[in-house]
Structure 1
Amino acid sequence: MDGRRTVTDYTRPLLLGYARHDLYPSDEDVDRLRAELSKFAAVEGFAMGSIYVERRNFAPAALNALVESLNRYELTAVVIPGWHQLELIGDPERVKQEFERVTGARLILYNPGP
């Protein structure tokens, strides 16, 4: 979370996001990802909430904050731009299964295609 203010449409279910900062060459690329995930959310019928960006040196701080938000607000979906985003935490399939079991939220894969 970078402190930027966003406008949220509370008539749609809220979608949170998760991504790793180190997988993008620059902060501008992370900003583009944020914009893409927001568009994805709108197309899929969600309002985009916070996108938690994990920094390698602080992992799993962003994931922990994401889980706290999911539990606090009883949210049910998180978008990630690829299963490789979970590799800092462990085996992506195991992390996915444990995450979904613990939070009750499903991980949605964002894949923009070619």
Structure 2
Amino acid sequence: MTDYTRPLLLGYARRDLYLSDQHVERLKVELTTFAAVEGFAMGSTYVEQRETAPAAFSALVESLNRYELTAVVIPDWRHLALIGEPERVKREFERVTGARFMLYDTP
């Protein structure tokens, strides 16, 4: 159940960086725990498929703008590489959306 008293955090990850869908599901659970520790409620995690990129990223940006959210958690900067050079994507993303990326390092 989502805690609506906390700000909402969205996630973003590339599917091709995980061995299986089971690993992606484990990541989603870990991101939910991370969100709670950081004072957020975890919303959707947008999972990018190499074949359809940047569809998930575009949907993420649309959600951020629609709900005026301020943060997205990613496992590491490589997850942005399908969109472009990660540092450039980060700068442009933050400029356009006003949101920031938070890094979650998987254990």
Aligned partners of 2:49 and 2:106: how far apart in 1? 23
Determine whether 1:23 maps to 2:25: no
For residue 112 of structure 1, report the CA deviation from its aligned partner. Answer: 3.7
TM-score, normalised to structure 1, is 0.92
Equivalent runs, 1:1-114 vs 2, <5 Å: 7-112=1-106
The alignment's C-alpha RMSD in Å is 0.7
Which residue identity does 2:42 align to in structure 1? M
Which digits, 9 at most, give the CA deviation of each residue in 1:6-62, with x for residues without a partner?
x21101000000000000000000000000000000000000000000000000000
Equivalent pairs: percent with the same residue? 75
Aligned partners of 2:55 and 2:25: how far apart in 1? 20
TM-score, normalised to structure 2, is 0.98
For residue 81 of structure 1, report the CA deviation from its aligned partner. Answer: 0.3
What is the number of residues matched between the two proteins?
107
Unpaired runs of at least 5, structure 1: 1-6
Question: Which stretches of structure 1, 4 residues or more, deviate above 4 A after TM superposition?
Answer: none
Aligned partners of 2:59 and 2:102: how far apart in 1? 18
